[in-house]
Homo-oligomer: A and B are copies of this chain.
Amino acid sequence: MLKPLGDRVIIEVLEAEEKTASGIVLPDSAQEKPQEGKVVAVGSGRVLDNGDAVALEVAEQDHIIFSKYSGTEVTYDGKDYLIVRESDILAVIK
């Protein structure tokens, strides 16, 4: 199992054919295209100046939109994942 550190989140990127029925379509002309994904693991939070950690807003299984060119790709147990900071996540699809 991969456990991200701090305010990092591990995402399973959803390809076009896996998209939600609600049908987010990304315009071709967008310079910084957002992408859809599913959260598979979240870090323990961002550490504040008083030493406490703020829990992340996203949780496992959340369906999210994130900035396409953010994060680091890893492959684990044969599957591709992306590790991003929570600040690279734009919105949750509910």
Contact = CB atoms under 8 A, between A and B. Distances in A.
Oligomeric state, in copies: 7
Given A5-B58, A47-B54, A93-B1, A72 B83 contact: no
Interface in A34-49: 34, 41, 44, 46-49
A24 B51 CA distance: 33
Interface residues of A, number: 48
Contacts of A2: 65, 91-94
Nearest to A93: B2
A34 B47 CA distance: 23
Contacts of A90: 4-5, 8, 72, 74, 83
Contact of A10 (B10, B46, B77, B91): B91
